[in-house]
Structure 1
Amino acid sequence: MNNMVERMKSNIKKNYLFSFLMNMRLSSGLWMIYMAFKGMSLTQIGFLEGIFHVTSLTMEVPTGSVADLFGRKLSRTIGR
């Protein structure tokens, strides 16, 4: 029983570390710097980011509808 508690504590610490690293999103900042380095203005970068976010939203809503109708696993398979 004690061994299981130790493993759970270890897994909780690992999960906190994973969540922290996963949510840092270093690539988002690097992507902006890369586009600026390539000579794009802030307006152009903002326009491209806007297109990205609108596209993400419009593609995510149908995935949720498919999940409601056919199940989560099929929805994720089709979404990939």
Structure 2
Amino acid sequence: MTVDLITTRDFEARTGKPVRVQPKPKQNKSQETTKMLLHEELSRARIRDLITEQEAQRPWRRARAARRWSRVARWAASRAERYQPPN
């Protein structure tokens, strides 16, 4: 038994009916995309919550930093007076 290789065009020309391959419908991956977007939105919401909490603590942090720097400034002034050479 021998097999002749023919192209699609030759087969269509011999039989008279075109053989067309039907494209497969695309798989809908919207569910995966939706899940991914949901996780992204949840992470953005968490970030927004953290930012609002930090903004609420900002005045307290500034006051604490001011007290700390005033202590450092008093210490530096007393040290400068202690080690100042006599005139």
TM-score when normalising by structure 2: 0.35
Structure with larger Rg: 2
TM-score when normalising by structure 1: 0.37
Q: Quick check: which one's helix share is greater? A: 1
Greater relative contact order: 1 or 2 (C-alpha under 8 angstroms, separation 6 or more)?
1
